[in-house]
Amino acid sequence: MNTDLEIASMHGSVDIVVTILKSLANTDRLLILCHLAKQELNVSQIEEMTQINQPTLSQQLMMLRKSDVVSTRRDGKQIFYSIKDEKMVQLLNTLYDLYCPKNII
């Protein structure tokens, strides 16, 4: 276990970290972010891949936008979502490595 954490240096980042962790602290948002870690998606694609109903999906996407975790891009009538910071993708990959079962052949 790494016990070399320098707590004093964390004070400037605490609010950012809390916001990121809150964005992950919901099953639907975590699932959305996992899909977005792979590629930019529009709302219809996210709905199809996650099987989250439209009202709930809209609410969770709004929360992710307010948390400044995702960015949006409009193309005609479609809105595309992507993860704003590569650090979030790294965090999702770390969580996957730590908690998702590995397939053993």
Q: CATH number for the domain including 55?
A: 1.10.10.10
Assigned domain for 104 exists: no
Candidates 71, 28, 73, 21; CA nearest to 46 is 28
Assigned domain for 75 exists: yes
78, pLDDT greater than 80: yes
Range of the domain at 27: 12-98
Task: Report how far residue 25's alpha carbon sits from residue 19's, in angstroms, rounded to the nearest whole number.
Answer: 10
pLDDT score recorded for residue 68: 96
- Condensed to tens digits (0 to 9), the pLDDT of residues 4-60 reads 778 888 888 899 999 999 999 999 999 999 999 999 999 999 999 999 999 999 999
Number of domains in the chain: 1
Assigned domain for 88 exists: yes
Assigned domain for 53 exists: yes
Assigned domain for 7 exists: no
